[in-house]
Amino acid sequence: MNILFGAIGALALLVGTGRAADDKAPARNVRITVFHSSQRLEKISGAGATKTRTTSETRQEILVMSGGRARIQVADQVPYADWFWTWGQGAGLWPAQSVQWRDVGTSLAVEPVILDDQTIRLRVTPEFSYFLDRERLVTRVQQLSTEVVAREGEEIDLGSLQMSNEFKERFLIGLSRGGETEQVRIRLKARVER
């Protein structure tokens, strides 16, 4: 029974309620296709050692209301957690203290807005999820938010967005389940749901 009511509530959120009292058009949805590729360089030791490069690619569909927010996971764990901690203290994101974070992951918050000319403005904001003591926290780095206006169906490479190169190079790297470092590339394509 609760599942049915939950599904109806979710459907109502996606569909909207029609025209508002001030006769504005109902909110519309944006379908964002996320292309996530990662490249891992594996080292093999021993006589005749070689390096192999492994690439994987996944595709994900996200449906979000215009003006809403969706989260794109970049990495469950990052290899540069200490660097990000020091950087964040310098940027005033978290107070200087002796307890440091652990199990640091990265994601991107994406906020689409459909504009009058049917282009889509995407606001992209880096986020960190982590444990501090026993509490799970998420910090959004508003200082590094960037906006891009895209035509419907245009593909955007998030690695080309305007961010500090030093930050971006570390942010788009994660650790695989086997502990190897992976370089991550994320591309988006947004379309208005009709």
Q: Give the mean pLDDT of 26-38.
A: 85
Residues 99-152 pLDDT 10s: 677 888 888 999 999 999 989 999 999 998 988 888 888 989 888 888 989 999
Look at residue 37 and tell me whether its pLDDT is greater than 90: no
pLDDT of residue 23: 45
Q: Give the mean pLDDT of 16-35.
A: 64
As a whole-number percent, the residues of the chain with pLDDT over 70 amount to: 68
- Least trusted range by pLDDT, from 13-22, 29-38, 128-137, 159-168: 13-22
Q: Give the mean pLDDT of 53-74.
A: 88
pLDDT of residue 4: 30
- Average pLDDT of the chain is 76
Q: Give the mean pLDDT of 1-10.
A: 31
pLDDT of residue 13: 34
* Interacting residues of 37 by C-beta distance below 8 A, sequence separation 6+: 55, 56, 57, 58, 184, 185, 186
Look at residue 181 and tell me whether its pLDDT is greater than 60: yes
pLDDT of residue 98: 57
pLDDT of residue 14: 36
Look at residue 30 and tell me whether its pLDDT is greater than 50: yes
Look at residue 50 and tell me whether its pLDDT is greater than 80: no
pLDDT of residue 70: 94
